[in-house]
Structure 1
Amino acid sequence: MTATLFDTPDFPSIPVQGEAAEYPVVRIFCVGRNYAAHAIEMGMEVDRDAPFYFTKTPTHALPSGATLPYPPGTESFHYEMELALVIGREVFRADRDAAAAAIYAYGCALDMTRRDLQQAARVKQRPWDTGKDVEGSAVFAPLTKAETFGEVGPQAITLAVNGKTKQNATLADMIHGCVEVVMDLSKYYHLRPGDVIMTGTPEGVGAVVAGDAITGAIDGLAPISLNIGEAE
């Protein structure tokens, strides 16, 4: 192994129910505006032609139950409850069968967002990095294997802040389903084990402040939670 000048962090990992070993997080892809009602609440047209993507740095991942200090540079830090899927075999330009077979597991996830910075970047037609690729902004609950979870669609996806429900939809409300997302993304990348895809959030997003407790759930999956701490 080549020596490096500085120590670097290891890739984070996500527990998998029924497995002693954990799933490594090497890349994080995120689908933007994949629920029509969320696109509308963001003031955007609903685009059904194809998914679009942004990314998060894998070392920004946090486990469910963590406390995340309120991040710098924002006055509007938003929650987004999402279904995450993870890849279990290499696929490139996948057809439907190959894309479905490549999905190893599913889990609850939170895409935490500096909304004011994202919206400012959008107005100036600039990348969303400072709004989306935030330290600690990709939160993952333990994964459930795909064969155990079953067909994606009718499951409820919900989020509450301090016990009050804020998001309530079903996975069937996604514009682009999980298999379709893997098929499309594999046109542009060789997808491999270690790749995590966050599939978008339903309507009802909103801001949180220090002291808030976020809880989320998807039927059939391990629940997720995050506490917002004081700014550092």
Structure 2
Amino acid sequence: MTDFVIPPPTAASLPVSTGTGRFPIRRVFCVGRNYAAHAREMGKDPDREPPFFFMKPADAVVDATGVIPYPTLTSEFHHEIEMVVAIKAGGVDVAPEESLSLVWGYGVGVDLTRRDVQDEAKKLSRPWDWAKGFDASAPCSPIHPVEEVGHPDAGEIWLKVNGELKQRGDLKDLIWSVPEQISYISQAVALAPGDLIFTGTPAGVGPMQPGDVVSGGVADVDEFTFTVGQIPA
């Protein structure tokens, strides 16, 4: 047994839909602007440019339930609903046609964003870490195994704030499909069990206020509801 000099951090994980086990989280990859309408609302060309990715810390992932804290350093706290892919096996330079063999299951998550911080970073050509990788910035539903939900490649993805529909799209409108995303990531780094992929958000991203009730889902995968916490004093 390893003799750590300080107590090791608790491993990040998510519940699974089958049984009491949890899915361990190693890394979190997020693809940017992967629905054409969202790319347009962010002022970009939605044609099939090579996909780009950013990352969140593993412990930014939390259960999408209860109260999600309103973060510091922002007055523009935005929602981005996404389908999430959970990886069960490693791979390097994986071909798209082989990529789905690496998938354990799927969930529904929200890429929470400090939009004002992100906009400032873009202006200054700085990284997005403070905009995307803060505490509790990746609430996610339980993970559902492939045996339960298959490999979703079509179906509604949606998000509501206080019952009002804000985001709506269809998985078939992903610019880069799940197999293509897995393949691209595996060309840059070695994928490993426990990796998560947030696969992109449809149009309609926008702000949340303290006390807002946020709900969302992906057809035939899962749904969630959480409440936004108070602005830190």
Q: Which residue of 1 aligns with 2:93?
A: 93
Scaled by the length of structure 1, the TM-score of the pair is 0.95
Scaled by the length of structure 2, the TM-score of the pair is 0.95
Q: Which residue of 1 aligns with 2:217?
A: 217
**Do 1:152 and 1:172's aligned partners in 2 also have CA atoms closer than 8 Å?**
no
Which ranges of structure 1 fall in alignment gaps of 5 or more residues? none
Distance in 1 between the 2:60 and 2:54 partners? 14
- Where 2:110 maps in the other structure, the secondary structure is strand
Q: Which amino acid aligns with 2:174?
A: M
- Where 2:181 maps in the other structure, the secondary structure is helix
Deviation at 1:73, TM superposition (A): 0.5
Deviation at 1:68, TM superposition (A): 1.8
**Do 1:9 and 1:59's aligned partners in 2 also have CA atoms closer than 8 Å?**
no
Distance in 2 between the 1:151 and 1:9 partners? 33
Q: Which amino acid aligns with 1:127?
A: P
Once the two structures are superposed, residues 80-101 of structure 1 have per-residue CA deviations (whole angstroms, 9 ceiling, x without a partner) of: 0000001111111111332111
Q: Which residue of 1 aligns with 2:37?
A: 37
Distance in 1 between the 2:8 and 2:73 partners? 25
Deviation at 1:51, TM superposition (A): 1.3
Distance in 2 between the 1:127 and 1:91 partners? 27
Distance in 2 between the 1:4 and 1:47 partners? 49
Structure 1 residues 63-72 or 76-85, which shifts more?
63-72
Distance in 1 between the 2:196 and 2:153 partners? 19
> What is the 5 A alignment of 1:1-232?
1-232=1-232
Count matched residues.
232
Distance in 1 between the 2:14 and 2:130 partners? 24
**Do 1:210 and 1:229's aligned partners in 2 also have CA atoms closer than 8 Å?**
yes
Q: Which amino acid aligns with 2:69?
A: P
- Where 2:222 maps in the other structure, the secondary structure is coil
Structure 1 residues 142-151 or 123-132, which shifts more?
142-151
Identical residues among aligned pairs (%): 36
Q: Which amino acid aligns with 1:177?
A: S
RMSD between superposed Cα atoms in Å:
1.4
